[in-house]
Each structure stands twice: as structure tokens, then as C-alpha cells.
Amino acid sequence: MCSSFLLCPKASSSTIIILLFLLLFFIIPRHHHHLHVMSTPAIVPNHDNVTDRSSLLVFKSKISLDPHDVVFATWNDTLPFCRWQGVVCGGRRNPERVVSLLLTSLDLVGTIPPHLANLTFLRSIDLSSNNFHGPIPQELSRLSRYLDLSNNSLNGIIPSELGHCLGLQMINVSFNKIGGYIPSEFGSLPSLYSLDLKNNSITGQIPASLANASFLNYLSVTCNQLSGGIPPSLGELSALKVLGLSFNNLEGSIPYSLWNLSSLEILSFGMNQLHGSLPRDLGQALPHLTHLYAYYANLHGSIPISLSNASQLSLISLSHNNLNGRIPPDLGSLRHLRKLILGDNQLEAREPIDWSFLTSLRNCTILEVLLMHQNNIGGLLPNSIANIFSTLQLLTIGENSIEGSIPPEIGNLVNLTEFIIRNNSLSGHIPASIGLLKNLHIVDFTFNNFSGEIPSTVGNLSLLNEICLDFNSFSGSIPASLGNCKSLDFLNFDQNKLTGIIPKQLFSISILSKGL
Ligand SMILES: *[C@@H]1O[C@H](CO)[C@@H](O)[C@H](O)[C@H]1NC(C)=O
Ligand SMILES: *[C@@H]1O[C@H](CO)[C@@H](O)[C@H](O)[C@H]1NC(C)=O
Ligand SMILES: *[C@@H]1O[C@H](CO)[C@@H](O)[C@H](O)[C@H]1NC(C)=O
Ligand SMILES: *[C@@H]1O[C@H](CO)[C@@H](O)[C@H](O)[C@H]1NC(C)=O
Ligand SMILES: *[C@@H]1O[C@H](CO)[C@@H](O)[C@H](O)[C@H]1NC(C)=O
Ligand SMILES: *[C@@H]1O[C@H](CO)[C@@H](O)[C@H](O)[C@H]1NC(C)=O
Ligand SMILES: *[C@@H]1O[C@H](CO)[C@@H](O)[C@H](O)[C@H]1NC(C)=O
Ligand SMILES: *[C@@H]1O[C@H](CO)[C@@H](O)[C@H](O)[C@H]1NC(C)=O
Ligand SMILES: *[C@@H]1O[C@H](CO)[C@@H](O)[C@H](O)[C@H]1NC(C)=O
Ligand SMILES: *[C@@H]1O[C@H](CO)[C@@H](O)[C@H](O)[C@H]1NC(C)=O
Ligand SMILES: *[C@@H]1O[C@H](CO)[C@@H](O)[C@H](O)[C@H]1NC(C)=O
Ligand SMILES: *[C@@H]1O[C@H](CO)[C@@H](O)[C@H](O)[C@H]1NC(C)=O
């Protein structure tokens, strides 16, 4: 229910009745007993609990499928409606009025009738993860403090009337098919702390007025069709912890004011038509940042060294940008780092000192993903590549100009599933210890200068799906042990100096389908 009836549009008949009652108490002279009644808003004419019941029955009648028989079989007169599943009545003062409707993940199919608005004491609606379709009734705006209609098939628009209910704290309509605009009225919701609109078809611009919802903690419009610029005023939302802007058609530069959002934990703005650069003091400006999603953002300039000061960072995704310069040397101080995604940029390395970031990553004891492919990284591959923690699962350094060889200690990276180093200038033998990487699914060493024999230990890689060693200088014969790799479905040894025949064991791999 709204914190203030008066500020909501179209007061319902029952609201008017309550207001009339209040008015009567002011006008008619009365004694103590009445004053006591006045102090409690619970002036409940009997017919209101009848209205509650009939409103719930209208809701029930709009459900066309209830596979788990939650509403169909149990919302009947055997029990008073306050004990129907999903119906919460409440409060000391109004024990028989509905305050919450909680029906989540029940595979319900149906529409949401405006009659729910007749539940005048309703505060929370959670119908998330069902299959409700049709529009969000604008009447709902009078009631909820908490509105979760996420993960349904709702369409239509977001009623701008929702923006008139000062009590609203949480709106989640994510994962629906909602179109239309973001109502600029949302900016006048002083209690709104969470607005989740992600994965819909919302168009238009992000209203600058949202900046007035100064209580906002969570704002996500990810995966919509929003256009226009990011309003610089968003930088005034100083309580914001999550700001999701990715996967839209936003354009223009990333406003500098965003770096003022010092409470931010999750920031995403990739996959738009934005451009800009990361501020030099990023790590100090956003010290609580845990996730930075800034891929495909036309970022230029370098990765700020201060990033390592944002000590809670767990995911850094800066791929597909135009970032240049060195990779900051102290990333290893990010103890919570799980994913470092830097592929498709123009990041550089020449001298051993440019590789110090790799040595420091030894301190990241939960690192799982390290992607550095398609950059301008050159120089000698340091042995410290093998000292990264064994938690590492994905390692891609392909499409660079890295020299040197793979150290035998690579066998430490026992959790590696993808090892992609294609198109570099790596040379030497492949160490036999590669056979220790028992979780490897994909090995791509194509376009390098590796020589010597392919170690027969590759036959120990029983989960291997793909092995590409083409365009190298391998000699000797193809190891027969590969016949043990029963999951292999792609293998390429083309353009080497291999001799002998293809071992017949390989033909025993029935699913070797994609190619040989
Ligand atoms: C009415 O609901 C109760 C549970 O609330 C259920 O046990 C009973 O079978 C239902 N009766 C009918 C006629 O569906
Ligand atoms: C409605 O209110 C009446 C009177 O207060 C009460 O007896 C009845 O049980 C209520 N009905 C339900 C379904 O709660
Ligand atoms: C309940 O709401 C509907 C639609 O908003 C309205 O038409 C109807 O008159 C209301 N019924 C009662 C009993 O208040
Ligand atoms: C949406 O609901 C479906 C089925 O109820 C569930 O499997 C899925 O995980 C939900 N998606 C989200 C994003 O919560
Ligand atoms: C909104 O709902 C979706 C799907 O039910 C859920 O994954 C998401 O966490 C919710 N958002 C917030 C801010 O709670
Ligand atoms: C969310 O939207 C994105 C982009 O439109 C889409 O790729 C993804 O499948 C959607 N996710 C869900 C759970 O609907
Ligand atoms: C915020 O509200 C004030 C007063 O209502 C208004 O003057 C201002 O323009 C609003 N700010 C934005 C960014 O809309
Ligand atoms: C950041 O906030 C400070 C004060 O908190 C203010 O002076 C400054 O103008 C803001 N910067 C931007 C770019 O909004
Ligand atoms: C930032 O990190 C560097 C080294 O990683 C450290 O020397 C410096 O003191 C840190 N600065 C702040 C403000 O934490
Ligand atoms: C890594 O840890 C070692 C030992 O704890 C420490 O001396 C070194 O400074 C750390 N490096 C970074 C970049 O945090
Ligand atoms: C390997 O990964 C699994 C989960 O994927 C994890 O439980 C295990 O601790 C990891 N092993 C090492 C040595 O990091
Ligand atoms: C190797 O990578 C370079 C860029 O690093 C690229 O220009 C070239 O096309 C790639 N060659 C192959 C064969 O993939």
C-alpha cells in the first residue's frame, strides 16, 4: 500500500471510504473511544474483507493453467482466504486483510487483473518466475511497496502511474517482454532502492530525472533497446551499488560523473555505442568495485594502474576495446580476482618488466580465467606463466607475438580446460608434462614454431575435444596414444614435418567428426 493515499492517482472506492471515515471523525464531535480508533488507520468496514476475497477470486479466475494445483485446488471456502497458499494477511491491526501476494516459480499461466488493486492493504506482490502475460495493470501502482513481476511474459508498457506511489521501494519487471519508455516519474520515488528492468524491449532514453531517486541502490536496464546518452545526472545517485547499462544502443561518451559513484560494486556499460576512457584514479574512485563489465565499449587509453587499488575486484572484463599501453603490474594484489578478460585490445609487452603482471598474478589464488588474446603482447614468455595458481581454467594468449617456449612446469595448471596460444612465435618442444593437464578440452597451438616430437603423453588427456597443432615444425610421427582420447572430435596436424602413417588407433575414435 502507498505510504500516502493522497499522492496516488485515482483513489479506489475503498480508499475514498476510508478517507470519508477519517473526515467524519474530524467533523463529528466525539469522545475518547473514537480518538483511540483514529490513532489506528484500521477502520475496516466488514465489506472490505469481502472485497479482498472477491478480488483474489478474480485473480484466480484469470489463471488459465496451474500445473501444481496451488491456486486452483486450494483457494476455496474450506479455508479462510488468509490461509490460502501465497496469500499473507497481516498486521496486528488488520489481521484479516491481504498484505502480500507471494506466488513465485509455480508455472502459473494467466493475466494480472486490475482487481488486485482492490486489495487496499496490499504492500507486496511477488509473482516472479511464472508465465503471466498481458499488461501490467496501471491500477497496481496505488498499492505496492514491493512489486516483483520478473521473469514472466508480460508485455505492454511500464505504467507511468507507478511513479506516483511514494511508497514504492522495489520494482522488478526484469525478464519480460515489456516495451515503451522508462517513466520519468520514477525519479520522484523517494523510497525506491531497487529498479530492475533488465531483459525487456524498453526503448527511448534513460530519464535524467532518475537522479532524483536518491535512495537508489540497484539500477539495471541491461538488455533493452535504450538509446541516447547516459545522463550525467546518474552520477548523483551516491547510494548506487549496481549500475547495469550493457546491451543497449546507448551512445556518446561515458560521463565522467559515473566515476563519482563511490559505492558502486557492479558496473556494466559494454555492448552499446559508447566511447571514452577509464579514469586514471579508477581504483581509488570506486574502491568497492567487484565487477567491471566494460567490453565492446570503444575504450581508448590505457588500463589505469590504480585498478589494483579496488581490492574487492573479482571480475575485470575489458575485452574488445582499443586499450593500449602495459598491463598494470600489480594486479596480483587483487586477492578476489577470478576473471581477467583483456582480449582484443592493443595492450603491449616488449621487455621482461612489461610481463611483471603475470608474476604478480601468482598471488591471485582463485583466478579461473585469464584471456589476453589478440593484443600486441610480445617478448619472451616468462616461466612464471606456470606459476599461476592451479585454479586457472582458461588461458588464452593467442594472436600476439610472443616468443620463447612453454616451461615444463606448465603441468602445474591441473585445472586448465582451454589452452590457446595460437598465432605467436613460440618455439621449442612441447613439454611431456602437458599430459598432466587432465582437464584439458581444447589445445590450440596453431601458427607457431614448435618443433620436436609431439609428446605421447597427450594420450593422457582423456577429456580432449580439440587439438590443433597445424602450421608448426613438429617432426616424428603422430602419437598412437591419441587413440585414448575418446572425446576427440577435432584434430589438425596439417603443415608440419610429421612422417609416417596416421595411427590406426585414431580411426577407432568413432566421434572424431568435425575433422581430421
Ligand atoms: C479446498 O482446499 C483444501 C486445501 O485448502 C483442499 O484440501 C480441498 O480438497 C479443497 N476442496 C475442493 C473442493 O477443492
Ligand atoms: C472476514 O471478516 C469476518 C468478520 O471480521 C470474519 O468473521 C471472517 O472470518 C473474515 N473472513 C475471512 C475469509 O478472513
Ligand atoms: C475492483 O476493481 C475493479 C477494476 O479495477 C473494479 O472494476 C471494481 O469495481 C472493483 N470492485 C470492488 C468490489 O471494489
Ligand atoms: C525464470 O523462471 C524459470 C522457470 O520458472 C527458471 O528456470 C529460470 O531460472 C528463471 N530465470 C531467472 C533469470 O530467474
Ligand atoms: C529481479 O528478478 C530476477 C529474475 O527473477 C532476478 O534474477 C534478479 O535478481 C531480481 N533483481 C533484483 C534487484 O533483485
Ligand atoms: C537477456 O537478453 C539478452 C540480450 O537480449 C539475451 O541474449 C538473453 O538470452 C536474455 N536472457 C534471458 C534469460 O532472457
Ligand atoms: C530533481 O527534482 C528537482 C525538484 O523537483 C528538479 O528541479 C530537478 O530538475 C530534478 N532533477 C532532474 C535531474 O531531473
Ligand atoms: C563529483 O562529486 C564531487 C563532490 O562530491 C563534485 O564536486 C564533482 O563535481 C563531481 N564530479 C562530477 C564529474 O560529477
Ligand atoms: C594503490 O596501490 C598501490 C600499489 O598497488 C599502493 O602503493 C598505493 O598505496 C595504493 N593507494 C591507495 C590509495 O590505496
Ligand atoms: C604477492 O605476494 C607476495 C608474498 O605475499 C608479496 O611479497 C608481493 O608483494 C605480492 N605481490 C603483489 C603484486 O601483491
Ligand atoms: C579445480 O577445480 C575444481 C572445481 O572446478 C575445484 O574444486 C578444485 O579445487 C580445483 N583444483 C585446483 C588444484 O585448483
Ligand atoms: C595472426 O595474428 C595477427 C595479429 O596478431 C593477424 O594479423 C594474423 O591475421 C593472424 N594470422 C592468422 C593466420 O591467424
Contact present, 294 and 274 (Cβ < 8 Å):
no
Q: Which atom of ligand 8 is nearest to 255's Cα?
A: 13
Distance of CA 277 from the midpoint of ligand 8 (Å): 18
Nearest residue (CA) to ligand 6, atom 9: 199
pTM for this structure? Answer: 0.87
Say yes or no: CB of residue 118 within 6 Å of ligand 3. Answer: yes
Q: Do domains 47-154 and 172-277 have the same CATH topology?
A: yes
Contact present, 21 and 47 (Cβ < 8 Å):
no
Cell of 54: 472477491
d(C-alpha 381, C-alpha 403), whole Å: 6
Nearest residue (CA) to ligand 2, atom 13: 80
Helix (H) or strand (E) holding 21: helix 13-27
Cell of 266: 557492479
3-state secondary structure (DSSP) of residue 31: coil
β-sheet bridge partners, residue 62: none
Nearest residue (CA) to ligand 10, atom 1: 363
d(C-alpha 257, C-alpha 259), whole Å: 5
Residue to mutate, 422, 423, 448, ligand 12, most ligand atoms under 8 Å from C-beta: 423
Say yes or no: CB of residue 507 within 6 Å of ligand 8. Answer: no
Q: Which atom of ligand 1 is nearest to 78's Cα?
A: 1
d(C-alpha 346, C-alpha 333), whole Å: 23
| DSSP code string of 3-15 | S-GGGSSS--HHH
Say yes or no: CB of residue 81 within 6 Å of ligand 2. Answer: yes
Cell of 11: 483513489
Burial of 6 (0-12, 13-18, 19+ CB in 10 A): exposed
Nearest residue (CA) to ligand 2, atom 4: 46
Contact present, 80 and 50 (Cβ < 8 Å):
no
Name the phi and psi angles at 404, rounded to 5. Answer: 95, -165
d(C-alpha 122, C-alpha 116), whole Å: 8
Q: Which ligand is nearest to the CA of 284?
A: 9
Q: Provide the terminal-to-terminal Cα distance of the chain, rounded to the nearest Å.
A: 67
Distance of CA 210 from the midpoint of ligand 7 (Å): 9
d(C-alpha 146, C-alpha 127), whole Å: 11
Distance of CA 334 from the midpoint of ligand 9 (Å): 12
Its CATH class, for the domain covering 47-154, is alpha beta
Place of cell 600476439: 400
Pocket of ligand 7 (CB under 6 A): 187, 208-209, 211-212, 233
Task: Decide the pairing of beta strands 401-404 and 376-380.
Answer: parallel
Residue to mutate, 96, 98, 121, ligand 2, most ligand atoms under 8 Å from C-beta: 96
Nearest residue (CA) to ligand 9, atom 2: 309
Domain range list for the chain? 47-154, 172-277
How would you list the strands of the sheet with 63-65, edge to edge?
63-65, 109-111, 131-134, 153-154
d(C-alpha 48, C-alpha 15), whole Å: 10
Burial of 149 (0-12, 13-18, 19+ CB in 10 A): buried
Cell of 416: 586448465
Residue to mutate, 68, 74, 84, ligand 1, most ligand atoms under 8 Å from C-beta: 74
Say yes or no: CB of residue 265 within 6 Å of ligand 3. Answer: no
Say yes or no: CB of residue 257 within 6 Å of ligand 8. Answer: yes
Say yes or no: CB of residue 356 within 6 Å of ligand 10. Answer: no
Digit-by-digit pLDDT tens for the chain (516 residues) are 333 222 233 333 333 333 333 333 333 333 333 333 333 344 444 457 788 999 999 999 999 999 999 988 889 989 999 999 999 998 777 788 999 999 999 999 999 999 998 998 899 999 999 999 999 999 887 777 899 999 999 999 999 999 988 889 999 999 999 999 999 999 999 899 999 999 999 999 999 999 999 999 999 999 999 999 999 999 999 999 999 999 999 999 999 999 999 999 999 999 999 999 999 999 999 999 999 999 999 999 999 999 999 999 999 999 999 999 999 999 999 999 999 999 999 999 999 999 999 999 999 999 999 999 999 999 999 999 998 889 999 999 999 999 999 999 999 999 999 999 999 999 999 999 999 999 999 999 999 999 999 999 999 999 999 999 999 999 888 888 888 888 888 888 888 888 776 766 666 655 554 455
Angle of CA points 337, 430, 414, to nearest 5°: 35
Distance of CA 118 from the midpoint of ligand 8 (Å): 45
Nearest residue (CA) to ligand 4, atom 13: 151
Contact present, 295 and 268 (Cβ < 8 Å):
no
β-sheet bridge partners, residue 403: 380, 425
Q: Which atom of ligand 5 is nearest to 194's Cα?
A: 13
d(C-alpha 142, C-alpha 2), whole Å: 6
Distance of CA 94 from the midpoint of ligand 2 (Å): 11
- What's the fold here for domain 172-277? 3.80.10
- For the chain, the C-alpha Rg in angstroms (whole number) is 31
Cell of 382: 616468462
Distance of CA 173 from the midpoint of ligand 5 (Å): 8
Place of cell 471456502: 77
Cα-Cα-Cα-Cα dihedral of 286, 291, 296, 298, to 10°? 10
